Amino acid sequence: MTLNLFPLKLSSVLLWSPWETNRDLASLLGRPEVAPSGLFDPVGLVKQAIPKDLPIKITQVIPRLKESGAYVKFTYPPGISPAEIEAKLVKSLIENPIKPWFSPFRGIKASLVQGRPWLEDLYRLPKGRLKVEFIPTGDGEPPGELSQESLYNLFRRYGKIADIVSQPPDSKVVPRYAYVDFVLVRDAIMARNCMHGFVLKEEGSKNPTRLRLSYEQRVKPHHFWSWISGHPKIVIPIIAAVLAAFTVAVFDPIREFFVQSHIQKSLDLTNSNLYKWLKRQTSDILSFKPRKEETAGLSALFTHHRELIDTVQSSLLESGDTFVVVHGPRGSGARELIMNQVLHDRRDVLLIDCRQVMEARGEADIIKKLASQVGYRPVFSWANNISSMLDLAIQSTTGVKAGFSENLEAQIVKILQTTASALKNVSLSARTKDDRDATLTDDAYLEAHPERRAVVVIDNFLHKGDEKGIFYDRLSDWAAALVQSNIAHVIFLTTDTTYSKTLSRALPDRVFHQVRLSDLSPDVAKRFVISQLNNQSQPQPGADDSRIKLSNQQLRSDLAELDECISLLGGRVTDLQLLARRLKAGQSPSKAVSDIIEQSSIEILRFFLLSTKPTTPSGADKKWSAEQAWSLIKALATSPNEALPYNQVLLSPTFAYSTSPDAASPEAALEALANAELITIHSRHGRPATIKAGKPVYQAAFRKLLEDPVVKARMDLAMLTELVKIENKNIEKAEAELAVLGQAGAQNGSWGWGLAGERVKYLLGKVKASQWRIEKWEGEIKGLKKVLEKEV
């Protein structure tokens, strides 16, 4: 006889090895004479379930812990059958149900074992499905297969049956089997314990059949999942749209908050009241001022550019929807001028450094650097690589692109759009209900109050512009949308002379506020160097530089050379700072300037004359030849006014007829050389007019290179060889035309020669002039080769 005693969910706890339940509780249940346990009182439950008037004697209790029951062996008198004992026991449990405290809603059930149960301790937990296998009772006797009606009659008394599944007729699997699915797992347990090993003979079958029962995992039908997996072309776009909507709804407000906090610096510790209080209290102990060598001499720079500062500040007070472009050579101090002087009173300033973005490695790093510039977080730059692999896998299997991944342009636009929304909130953050313009719309309010708009400063614009033009195009479009919507003022800081092409595509109908930074004059440059040396008496920015008092360190005898040295060095801020550092190190002005000129000449020789790389020092594509660069260097070094006419350079043979594969069109070559800072192109009335050295110290470096006999001989040899090639090509063209004219004259006689005579004379004159120049240059080439053979 078998009884179900414990809660079915408790079987996994009872089988847990640390409790050692299989050993301890099994030994307890196997001895009914032992006193009942106080945990579940299983022996007491068994005794309580069997009525006292039932004439049986319990001899052994065999626990089945994983099935939450037990086998009970008993003896009975000969005057009663086992079936009658079962009927009385079942009737007694129905009339007097036993409900233990740990299972108050379920009673104990009992049933007579019909077969021969398999008492195993395998870790096979009970299931609601039974696999009934039909086993022969003897060797060589095929068993009979039971019908669904027979199986129903056998198993229905143990509980409600959900379904009976017979083995397919064409199946070759032996032994034959059928599945019986019970509604309750407890009923399946009772059926297996009672009917395992049961032998019966199906009506119409010759041989008896033994039943072998085992638990089987029921495979539930997943209609919803089957439909999803069967319709990927519909489901995948829906999933992508849901994920996109979830991202927008959850992450975009968080990112917008962080961007706004980055612009307003609300999360910056230095802007907190506690930090400001500590700064006031500890100002006499700790120094919070920047290093003196970083701020030394800035007053001279700011005073020199006072008119420029006023121009930019007045532009920020206007309501015009256009850009402010500050153009100047690299090292002119544009960033310090704008951030420390023009915008020092403004709090809502966003600085975007294009250099950091452009020097990133890979698309994921570009997105990460751009997000860091604007405070966009959280950013999952690595997730796009995984999304790309998912897109590729789904497209290769289903033929449909899922759209999980986004290209670089889409991600840049997304970051910039979120930044634009945050900028609008920042510009409107000072608006209150008590304002006189409180009734205006947001756009009208921002148009009426340009002083309350945030300021976006885009530094190093068009840095490596040839590599990632798509970034600058999207950045320009975004900046145009900001100024046209009156959301923010935009200031571009650039050293590239072609900025107008990119910005004009974004704002084709606007005129930019263009401000050009020039080098310092000799007097201002001298005061700048002196103020760099004088760290102890540093004036405040904006103070009168004429009142700077020289310290003992500056009253050196060799400072008398400073005027002459600065005339050679020029007024570039970075060069002046380098000179000041060398003077602090103990060098004399003449020695320091000589070393700076020497270093500049080496840079020119390395990057512009002897370089074989197809890229410039900044990483852009090289569009000029060494012969073109040398022709400019030689012409500028010998020019009396240190300038060349732009059109004269365009018409020179090395630019107009260059045969070098590196050289582009003459205009493109000059533009590339200007972007590489070898030269500077100055405009007049909106057109390029003159060409000068890229920075003042380069003029002295050009003369130094021209004084080097080896460099001069080598580069002159290369330039003359280039000119000889050009003249040879001209002669070849003229000879080809003369051959054609000769054939025409031979065919038409004297009449043909008369028509072509003037043209023949013209071509012969060109050939003669070219040949004369070739002979002249070849003579010079021989002399240059002798110089190279002798000089070291």
For residue range 566-606, list pLDDT tens digits in order.
Answer: 888 888 888 888 888 888 888 888 888 899 999 999 999 98
Residue 647 belongs to a domain: no
Is residue 389 domain-shared with residue 460, that is, in the same domain? Answer: yes
Same domain, 454 and 351: yes
Classify burial at 766, counting beta carbons within 10 Å of its beta carbon; exposed 0-12, middle 13-18, buried 19 or more: middle
| Amino acid code (one letter) for 150 | S
> Are residue 100 and residue 136 in the same domain, yes or no?
no
Please indicate, yes or no, whether residues 357 and 474 belong to a single structural domain of this protein: yes
Strand partners, 615: 621
| Mean pLDDT in residue range 289-316 | 67
Q: Which of 496, 516, 536 is the last residue of a domain?
A: 516
369 and 487: one domain?
yes
- Which SS3 state, helix, strand or coil, does residue 308 take? helix
Establish if 712 belongs to a structural domain: no
The answer to whether position 732 is within a domain reads: yes
pLDDT at 19: 41
Q: Locate all alpha helices (DSSP H) within 485-588, ordered by sequence.
A: 499-506, 522-533, 562-569, 573-584
Identify the CATH number of the domain in which residue 163 sits: 3.30.70.330
Beta strand 129-136 pairing with 161-166: unpaired
Mean pLDDT (the chain, rounded): 80
Are 116 and 196 in contact, with CB atoms under 8 Å apart?
yes
pLDDT per residue over 69-83, tens digit each? 888 888 988 888 888
Residues 382 and 493 occupy one common structural domain: yes
Among candidate residues 484, 516, 548, the one where a domain is terminated: 516
pLDDT recorded at residue 479: 93
476 and 434 together in one domain: yes
CA distance 214 to 219: 15
The total of other beta-carbon atoms located within 10 Å of residue 102's CB is 13
More confident residue, 553 or 441: 441
Report residue 554 CA to chain centroid gap. Answer: 51
For 719-745, b/e burial (b = at least 16 CB within 10 A) is bbbbbbebbeebbeebeebbeebeeeb
Distance CA 361, CA 368 (A): 10
**pLDDT score recorded for residue 193:** 92
Rounded to an integer, what is the distance from CA 263 to the centroid of its chain? 21
Instruction: Tell me if 621 sits within 8 A of 466, measured CB to CB.
Output: yes
Is this prediction's pTM over 0.75? no
492 in the same domain as 353: yes
User: Using one digit for the tens of pLDDT, what is the confidence trace for 465-507?
Assistant: 665 678 899 999 999 999 999 999 999 998 887 788 888 888 8
User: Nearest Cα to 515, choosing from 303, 325, 314, 321?
Assistant: 325
Query: Which has more confidence, 759 or 256?
Result: 256
Whose tokens are 């002083």? That residue is 451
Inside any domain, residue 40: yes
Give the position of tokens 């809502």: 348
Asked whether residue 662 is assigned to any structural domain, the reply reads no
Q: Is the dihedral of CA 525, 526, 531, 532 positive or negative?
A: positive
Mean of pLDDT values over 215-232? 76
Q: What type of residue is 214? A: S
Count how many domains the chain has.
4
Residues 32 and 93 in one domain: yes
Question: Which domain-ending residue is among 63, 83, 111?
Answer: 111
449 and 341 within one domain: yes
Enter the tokens of residue 357.
């973005």
pLDDT in tens, 548-571: 444 444 445 566 678 788 888 888
Domain harbouring 277, CATH code: 3.40.50
Please check whether residues 46 and 78 belong to one and the same domain: yes
In-domain check, residue 233: no
Domain that holds residue 388: 251-286+322-516
- Residue 557 falls within a domain, yes or no? no
What is the Cα–Cα distance from 616 to 1, expressed in whole angstroms?
Answer: 94
Domain shared by 83 and 150, yes or no: no
In a domain, 442, yes or no: yes
